[in-house]
């Protein structure tokens, strides 16, 4: 995604702050999800594991920045992550580590299933890049997926079952996709040598390829992110400024295109450097390994964003109404009178809400907004400048530009 000169100027201003500009502090926008590895310095799989207290401290950090996490194993103390996440108000997609050892795999699956005794995850993820790395034959992986799906505990609670791998694995294997309730696809523009200014659009295009290939399937980006240290790959340069740039523009694009994703990852994990021999593998976190956050410029002063926090109910028809609500980020509360929210509901077309005669919604002092809305199958919220005149009916939403600053779209479920 090429960045216009105005956007580069905005970025330069934001990155010029050495501290957090108090005049523009707002509550941080919450990411759709964050990939979570619990290991701290001196800890590693097969070595020292984090304590439950360590994990609980992490959940207290993450709950201010996301409502979802995904995990990669339930071995040792990692089996407590989902329960501790739920106690902190975070949904958990619980992952099982699947490798070449069939006995270890069976033990891991049983621990995964036993976890339903204390918490009900948002989903089970049976394996992570197993096929990409050749850790297990395809048929054996599918056998483990079926074992989880057919378990009485999974059926009783209606827990969806998925698998995580690079996006091309799913594009090339419709038979595997047919076994799953959802896909976690990994798209890393850094590994593909994509420059950071093109990276958000690159991720979107790959996600859309998979989504179009399987239109009835829930397709979640299981990993995407940017390392802050390591070797340059093609046009991809790892550094903190580029991680923040990727995060800022990708989150805005994800809100506009209704892309579910897990940002990779929460914390730097130094054990990965030793395990892989690759410096960048230890530096994907939004936080350093000591739990100090990397530069907070995105979170304290992002480019303007809008999110729909409570979409209206599903439906259609001119007489059926409900409430819709959301929040704006990246503008100062004292300047909110310079902005408005425009809401649309879509059935066959996008219709402005609540009425053609009342197309603008005010932003409150705490930067929230809400209004009545006629029901539809899709909902959109536009953050616009005062004086913007929205179209009453649209075939397509307008582009983000100097007048429409941000867009969020929600699919009715």
For residue 405, give both structure tokens: 């600053």
Provide long-range contacts, Cβ within 8 A and 24+ apart, for 284-293: 284/225, 284/226, 284/227, 284/228, 285/228, 286/34, 286/65, 286/243, 286/247, 287/61, 289/40, 289/41, 290/40, 290/41, 291/57, 291/58, 291/61, 291/267
Question: How large is the average pLDDT for residues 377-385?
Answer: 97
> How far apart (Å, rounded) are the C-alpha atoms in residues 188 and 386?
38
- DSSP summary character for residue 335: G
Residue whose C-alpha is closest to residue 65's, from 44, 94, 90: 90
Span 155-179, average pLDDT: 98
What are the contacts of 283-292 at 24+ separation with CB within 8 A? 283/227, 283/228, 283/229, 283/230, 283/238, 284/225, 284/226, 284/227, 284/228, 285/228, 286/34, 286/65, 286/243, 286/247, 287/61, 289/40, 289/41, 290/40, 290/41, 291/57, 291/58, 291/61, 291/267
pLDDT of res. 24: 42
pLDDT at 5 over 50: no
pLDDT at 27: 65
For residue 27, give both structure tokens: 């509550």
Q: Which residues contact 260 (CB under 8 A, 6 or more apart)?
A: 32, 33, 218, 219, 220, 221, 254
Please compute the mean of the pLDDT values over residues 265-278 and round it to a whole number: 96
Residue 67 has pLDDT above 50, yes or no: yes
Q: Distance between CA atoms of 328 and 341, rounded to whole angstroms?
A: 9
Query: Do the bridges between strand 378-385 and strand 339-346 make them parallel or antiparallel, or are there none, so unpaired?
Result: antiparallel
pLDDT tens readout for residues 185-227 = 999 999 999 999 999 999 999 999 999 999 999 999 999 999 9
pLDDT score at 301 = 67
Mapped onto helix, strand or coil, the DSSP state of residue 332 is coil
Residue 284 has pLDDT above 70, yes or no: yes
Give residue 337's pLDDT.
95
**Structural domains for the chain:** 5-300 (3.20.20.80), 305-411 (2.60.40)
Q: How many helices (H) and strands (E) does the chain have?
A: 12, 16
Evaluate the CA torsion angle 313, 318, 320, 321 in order and state its sign.
positive
d(CA 13, CA 8): 9
User: Which pTM does this prediction carry?
Assistant: 0.88
Phi/psi class of residue 386: alpha, beta or left (left: φ > 0; alpha: ψ in -120 to 50)?
beta
Q: Is the pLDDT of residue 9 over 80?
A: no
Handedness of CA 409, 322, 389, 341 (dihedral sign): negative
Average pLDDT score over residue span 128-147: 98
């Amino acid at each position: 995604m090429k960045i216009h000169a105005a956007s580069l100027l905005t970025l330069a201003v934001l990155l010029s702050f050495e501290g957090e500009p108090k005049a523009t502090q707002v509550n941080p926008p919450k990411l759709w999800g964050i990939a979570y590895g619990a290991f701290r310095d001196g800890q590693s799989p097969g070595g020292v594991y984090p304590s439950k207290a360590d994990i609980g401290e992490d959940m207290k950090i993450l709950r201010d920045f996301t409502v979802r996490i995904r995990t990669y194993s339930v071995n040792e103390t990692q089996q407590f992550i989902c329960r501790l996440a739920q106690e902190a108000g975070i949904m958990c997609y619980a992952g099982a580590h699947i490798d070449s050892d069939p006995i270890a795999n069976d033990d891991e699956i049983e621990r995964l299933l036993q976890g339903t005794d204390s918490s009900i995850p948002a989903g089970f993820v049976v394996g992570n890049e197993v096929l990409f790395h050749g850790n297990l034959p395809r048929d054996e992986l599918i056998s483990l997926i079926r074992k989880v799906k057919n378990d009485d505990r999974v059926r009783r609670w209606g827990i969806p079952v998925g698998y995580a791998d690079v996006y091309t694995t799913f594009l090339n294997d419709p038979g595997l996709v047919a076994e799953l309730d959802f896909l976690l696809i990994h798209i890393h523009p850094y590994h593909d040598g994509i420059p950071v200014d093109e990276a958000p659009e690159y991720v979107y295009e790959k996600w859309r390829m998979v989504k179009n290939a399987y239109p009835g399937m829930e397709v979640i980006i299981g990993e995407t992110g940017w390392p802050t240290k390591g070797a340059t790959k093609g046009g991809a340069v790892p550094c903190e400024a580029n991680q923040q740039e990727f995060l800022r523009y990708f989150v805005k694009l994800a809100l506009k295109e209704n892309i579910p994703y897990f940002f990779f990852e929460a914390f730097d994990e130094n054990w990965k450097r030793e395990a892989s021999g690759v410096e960048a593998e230890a530096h994907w976190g939004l936080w350093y390994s000591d739990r100090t956050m990397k530069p907070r410029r995105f979170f304290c002063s992002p480019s303007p964003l809008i999110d729909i926090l409570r979409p209206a109910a599903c439906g259609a028809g001119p007489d059926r109404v409900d409430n819709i609500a959301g929040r704006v980020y990246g503008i100062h509360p004292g300047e909110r009178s310079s902005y408005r929210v425009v809401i649309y509901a879509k059935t066959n077309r996008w219709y402005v809400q609540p009425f053609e005669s009342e197309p603008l919604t005010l932003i409150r002092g705490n930067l929230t907004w809400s209004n009545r809305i006629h029901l539809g199958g899709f909902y959109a919220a536009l953050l616009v400048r005062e004086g913007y005149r929205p179209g009453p009916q649209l075939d397509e939403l307008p582009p983000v530009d100097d007048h429409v600053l941000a867009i969020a779209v929600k699919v009715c479920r």
